[in-house]
Amino acid sequence: MMSVKDKKYAKLGRRRIWPSILVFVLFLLVCVAAFSFLMYLCAICIMGTKIAGHYEEAMQVGIVFDELMADGRSAEEAADDIQQYVVGKKDICITDRDGRIVLVTGDSEPNFDLLLQFDTVGQHFGAVADSKSGLVSGEAFGDMLRMPARDIFDGAFAFDDQGKTRAQWMDETIIRQDYWMQAPLKNSGYSLYVKCNLQAQRQDIAYVYILGFAAIVILLIPVVLLFVNTLRSIVMQRRMAQLIYLDTVTDGRNWLYFRNTARRILTRLRNSRKAFAMVDLHVERYNNYRACYGVAAGEELLQAMSGFLSARVGRNEAFARNEGADFGLLMLCAGDNEEEYREYCIKRVRSLIAELTGLRPEQKIRFHAGINMIPPYIAEDGKWYHVRKNVDVDELYTYANAARHESNENQEQRIAFFDQNMLGRQKWERWVEDNVEAALRNEEFQVYLQPKYNPSTGKLVGAEALVRWISLSTGMITPGHFIPIFERTGFITKLDDYMISHVAKMQAEWMIQGKKMIPVSVNVSRAHFAQEGLADHICQLVDAYGPSHELIELEVTESAFFDDKDILVETVKQLKAYGFRVSMDDFGAGYSSLNSLKDIPLDVLKLDGEFFNGDEDGVRRGEIVVREAIQLAKDLNMSVVAEGIERKEQVDFLASQDCDMIQGFYYAKPMPVEEFEKKVEEDA
């Protein structure tokens, strides 16, 4: 489903040229209508004046006729006498009450089948066509106004040739139309029609044309302006659409375009039964590349990638840069089942990466990719006409990105597929990061103590402080679930401080309460050891409560010895100088280096429980290593703690080897402080 934001941008990106064109066409139509109306008005005005004149004349004839009739003349006599009283010869026609012609003068008569309407002139005139006028319909009367423009204008320049003056030529009549105008009569029972001749001179028509041209010129200005404006707005809209979808770094299409296009592809009906893959393609150490070769070179690389990908992306596929050096790629997968889709996908991504690497052969550029498979969509009812719904392109890409983050760092081409566990892990990490500060404030982290025993005497002689997160919302969380996250985020140093302080406080309370003092070891993370001034810092934390320094042992994991050895050696020496004991934790769990034993003056060696695991032969060989390790530690004046001991025979073996302490489930699991205190009392 499209978000409101998406809709807003999609709206901006749409090329809406039709409204502009529509407005222009409408305006043009209005102009044409206005022009026609103006011309019509003008023609009506000219011809109307003439018709009104004819009516006046007819009225005069009517008055004379009425008067002659009033004098007692018959209609025929009155018709004859009329000529004496009116100016010029008038053809008249008299009809009786039933419309029969009583009398008609002249060579034609009214054609009563063709009534002419002159309402538009503003007054109603009763008029009929002439029997010889050639008019075939009432409307055709308007046709008289059809103006022979060429005739006028060609002639306007050529009249000299015909030996006429301009005035003569303009006065020439070019329209001539006979008709009969009804004269209004008093109630004599007759109707009187006077024959009129409607004429238009060339100049009448020229006026209409001149006015028309003026109107065209005036109307043309806004039409041209609007036309230019419409063109501009179309061009602007095109540019806007291009800009909205432009990635300014690669000069290609941007993420907004990708989001819209990928959604369109995935929700098409014909694509619903096809498998797709959302790929996150990432340039490894891009920032380093930019720092070394310059920002411009970095952008050129991305441009080259964009150009390359656009040539490789087919129909029903899309790509765009997401951010930084990450490209999103929607890929159509060939195959018939999950396995084939994956195979196709990985092959194609590999070959893309291989070709991309070749873009800059002189520089070593590594790519890695995360792939989120989008299987064919089959609706619950199995019907073919369903399409993918609620496609969230960003979410699909986020999962591809999550897979990319988890891809194996040691591979040359790091490619990983997304699975739901990944999402679970990432959600968990986020939860931890979001909640850890509050958890520390609320004292949700608790100290658990795991006793250490002397295998020869079976006495409790020490303990290791292990953290437990008793979350108010989730319950108990063991360190394996959050320590690695803390190590990544750096929060581990805060946790270490917290544990050291709590252990120091606990021991101070034991001292005050007169309880048996048990040495307790605390884990200090490798990240912490890399900090300068750590010994002073720990000293301050412990001294805030005041227990004896000898009662606190600090465990450093063996892997810390691979970091900056100088700082480590310095810190260990200082800690020892302050009276703390320092132990090497998990010896034998990773890549042990005997060198570290040589260089660092440690007090305790903690053997990892792994030595005692494996098959019979492995255990036997492990025992040999343990025996020699204990001997080595003794020679170096170190005491030995064996961790992870679960079985009696292991205890017996370690006792026989003179191992100083054992820490393991065989004796006890890590427990809350109160429980531990009870155990110490029972042990006494």
Interface contacts to Mg ion, rule CB under 5 A: 523, 555, 585-586, 643
How far is the C-alpha of 568 from the C-alpha of 26, rounded, in Å?
A: 84
Look at residue 122 and give the partner it binds from Mg ion, ligand C2E, none, a contact being a CB closer than 5 to 8 Å depending on partner kind. Answer: none
Judge contact between 375 and 341, C-beta under 8 A: yes
Rounded to the nearest 5 degrees, what angle is found at the Cα of 237, between the Cα atoms of 234 and 243? Answer: 145
Residue 665 DSSP SS3 = coil
Retrieve residue 567's tokens: 């700082």
Judged by beta carbon distances under 5 to 8 A according to partner kind, the member of ligand C2E, Mg ion, none in contact with residue 478 is ligand C2E
- Residues 274, 200: Cα–Cα separation, whole Å: 78
* 3-class DSSP state of 509: helix
Sign of dihedral through CA atoms 486, 489, 495, 496? positive
| Residues near ligand C2E, by CB under 6 A | 450, 466-467, 478-480, 483, 492, 495-496, 499, 523, 525, 555, 585-586, 609, 643-646, 663-665, 670
Cα Rg of the chain (Å, integer): 54
Pick 373 or 520: Cβ nearer ligand C2E = 520
Query: What does 480 bind: ligand C2E, Mg ion, none (CB cut-off 5 to 8 Å by kind)?
Result: ligand C2E
> Which does residue 495 bind out of Mg ion, ligand C2E, none, counting CB within 5 to 8 angstroms by kind?
ligand C2E
277 binds, among Mg ion, ligand C2E, none (CB under 5 to 8 A by kind): none
Residue among 192 and 500 whose Cβ is closer to ligand C2E: 500
644 binds, among Mg ion, ligand C2E, none (CB under 5 to 8 A by kind): ligand C2E
Least Å distance, CB 533 to ligand C2E, is 18
Q: Which does 450 bind (CB under 5 to 8 A by kind): Mg ion, ligand C2E, none?
A: ligand C2E
Complex with ligand C2E: residue 7 or 669, whichever CB lies closer = 669
Measured between alpha carbons, how far is 312 from 528 in angstroms, rounded to an integer? 48
Rounded to a whole number of angstroms, the minimum distance from the CB of residue 255 to ligand C2E is: 40
For 121, the token pair is: 């002139």
Which DSSP symbol is given to 561?
Answer: G
Could you give phi then psi for residue 215, rounded to 5 degrees? -65, -40
131 binds, among ligand C2E, Mg ion, none (CB under 5 to 8 A by kind): none
Kind and range of the H or E run holding 37:
helix 18-70
We find the least distance from the C-beta atom of residue 528 to ligand C2E, in angstroms, to be: 7
Q: What residues contact residue 212 under an 8 Å CB cut-off, 6+ apart?
A: 35, 38, 39, 42
| Smallest separation, CB 468 to ligand C2E (Å) | 7
Q: How far apart are CA 216 and CA 34, in angstroms?
A: 10
Please report how close the Cβ of residue 466 comes to ligand C2E at its closest, in angstroms. 4
Structure tokens at 553: 């042992």
Question: Which residue, 643 or 660, has its beta carbon nearer to ligand C2E?
Answer: 643
Closest CB to ligand C2E among residues 417, 612: 612
DSSP state of 515: P
Distance CA 373, CA 396 (A): 9
Residue 344 vs 545, nearer CB to ligand C2E: 545
> Which of 147, 499 has the CB closer to ligand C2E?
499
Q: How far is the CB of 505 from ligand C2E (least distance, A)?
A: 15
Q: Which is nearer to ligand C2E, 196 or 495 (CB)?
A: 495
Question: In this structure, which amino acid lies at residue 452?
Answer: K
User: Min. distance of Cβ 496 from ligand C2E in angstroms?
Assistant: 5
Q: Which helix (H) or strand (E) holds 453?
A: strand 445-454
